[in-house]
Structure 1
């Protein structure tokens, strides 16, 4: 799906990936609306198709994308499947958590938009989206897709190794203020399709550490599984619901946070961000360690196979840069990005040492 001013780019992408059609904004002179074009794109289901894939024009992907999508759809034939997640979103944080725990897919966060840069839906669901969205006054297709999935009672699955990347382009829909919008865990490598076709699913995330506006947050569901739409809780406020001991966290911060790295991060990005980033990574490492036994094969092999180390390294490498304010991401040098990554890993590793019970409720996986 594309806009006339990007049509040439979209047609080139379609040819390279083997897509069979390009759908263009039907009213490009009107106010920008991704949904207006998406309605047309999701309507274009081929006769007899079991699934329908829609890709936006501002992405990159390898020529093997279609085979990866086919493997994934065969494995999860009734699911909405997203192959990209934004590095500063809760879904992106869920992908990182799943990566560190050993899952190849993770269920989307219900109260957040579903990233639509590259999505595959069962044909019947694609048609349902078209019917549901065509009369909406909303302009964001990602919000409407989440709305539909919530009504259906099951969010989509997010690929843990993202195999699609968002490009730095002008934003027709007015999203330039979001800054650089990269993948949370881009690992488009040989073997990604096999992993997406065979790896396990983190089927719900009832306790999710994430960064928002440079501050560490925790998404924790209540006993009934309910969580207010768009609700955000700072980690200090949500901590009592996790069963973690605040004093134990303070001891880890004082005893395990590397002073030199913390000072360097503070010098470049501010002391508050250095503090919040490390606490976020501490909580992420703890939560991933709680979940990891669910995905560990009895053979002791890496649950993510030969890509496991690369996936985990990539997931952690996007935390620090992705969590910065949008205006600051573009100017992060390679050296400072490495500093943020090394610093993030110290928090993740420290979090793994937390000897605490999992939070109330159960985060489940399925084959």
Structure 2
């Protein structure tokens, strides 16, 4: 496996330190650093830097942290899935973040990306023939976001990427050369250490179809529907949970009854005091729906297989711990310190467990 770090001259020192620490092959520099921001131009340089004799190529962006054995982890996964595009980071508030969180709660270690959203590109490994095809496909495009064009490319091939549910790659900082700073703090959906990630990535189950996916953005809960990508807008629109619920087979009365019966008043009051009553209710319902879908997915997946149960438990904890801060509006995420995160996680777990009971009963 060969590798490269995408970077811009303003982050050259940071990128070189990352490459040195991870043992990556070199840097892929923005070919037009004084021009309009374009991650795609730099990505094309990075995907052209395939080493002689390599079967796979790993491209990492410069604003990440990762364990020192990252190359080993990626190489083993590439051996397990030699024909797949493998993604090692997912934003905690994206639809693919929702799919990863659901997969973690279901006991899966990989999940197929949804076709109606960008492909998170902070750390991606491709077979070299796929990398060559992507470069040919992307060269000359007017698109400046490599993550958006990746999804167009994968959709055309009829197979989206596989997302690693345990995230060993973490985004660092809130600045963005490519114009994403307005999204505020954006972190990994299921951050775990390399010791837990290794057996999960090597032997954990794959969730190919999670069904409808609850996700939360800017303080409100949404549902990504099955087949949404076939809609007139390519599936890019966002459906509030109330509007989408009739297409899921669940009734709103069922959700509201679960809220009335299961939401703990003391934790709800504390979350509401910090972030508002509406947010507390939206977070609880979001996690209720997650728990319900996770129970359904776990039933389809069956036995978890030869993975350490304690690693799976920590993956589930990580997924639930990010649900609260990820669901906050960007301007309020800095208010979620360790104590607030623990509070929201305890609150979220009550909803997940209530949702799991719904799933088992259906």
Distance in 1 (alpha carbons) for counterparts of 2:194 and 2:59: 21
Contact 1:243/1:356, CA 8 A, preserved across alignment: no
CA-CA distance at 1:246 after TM superposition = 2.5
Counterpart pick for 2:302 among 296, 313, 332: 296
CA-CA distance at 1:21 after TM superposition = 1.3
**3-state SS of 2:65 partner:** strand
Distance in 2 (alpha carbons) for counterparts of 1:29 and 1:248: 56
CA RMSD of aligned residues (A): 1.7
Distance in 1 (alpha carbons) for counterparts of 2:245 and 2:306: 30
Distance in 2 (alpha carbons) for counterparts of 1:206 and 1:97: 10
Matches within 5 A, 1:139-288: 139-222=144-227, 226-227=230-231, 228-288=234-294
TM-score, normalized by length of structure 1? 0.93
1:332 aligned onto 2:336: yes
1:29 aligned onto 2:59: no
In structure 2, list runs of 5 or more residues that go unmatched.
1-5
Counterpart pick for 2:354 among 336, 350, 362: 350
CA-CA distance at 1:212 after TM superposition = 2.2
CA deviations on 1:324-359 (whole Å, 9 max, x unpaired) are 11111122222111111111111101111115787x
Contact 1:164/1:188, CA 8 A, preserved across alignment: no
CA-CA distance at 1:294 after TM superposition = 2.8
Contact 1:107/1:157, CA 8 A, preserved across alignment: yes
In structure 1, list runs of 5 or more residues that go unmatched.
359-367
Distance in 2 (alpha carbons) for counterparts of 1:169 and 1:23: 22
The answer to which of 239-248 and 285-294 deviates more is: 239-248
Greater share of helix residues, 1 or 2?
2
CA deviations on 1:42-78 (whole Å, 9 max, x unpaired) are 1111122111000000000010101100111011111
Distance in 1 (alpha carbons) for counterparts of 2:20 and 2:172: 18
Change (3 A) 1:110 1:206: same
Change (3 A) 1:302 1:293: farther
Contact 1:213/1:324, CA 8 A, preserved across alignment: yes
Counterpart pick for 1:6 among 8, 11, 33: 11
Contact 2:116/2:229, CA 8 A, preserved across alignment: no
Counterpart pick for 2:311 among 302, 307, 321: 307
Residue equivalent to 2:100: 95
Distance in 2 (alpha carbons) for counterparts of 1:225 and 1:175: 23
The answer to which of 309-318 and 172-181 deviates more is: 172-181
Runs of 4+ in 1 over 6 A off after TM superposition: none
Change (3 A) 1:231 1:274: same
CA-CA distance at 1:303 after TM superposition = 5.5
Change (3 A) 1:232 1:321: same
Paired residue total? 355
TM-score, normalized by length of structure 2? 0.94
Counterpart pick for 1:48 among 47, 53, 56: 53
The answer to which of 196-205 and 175-184 deviates more is: 196-205
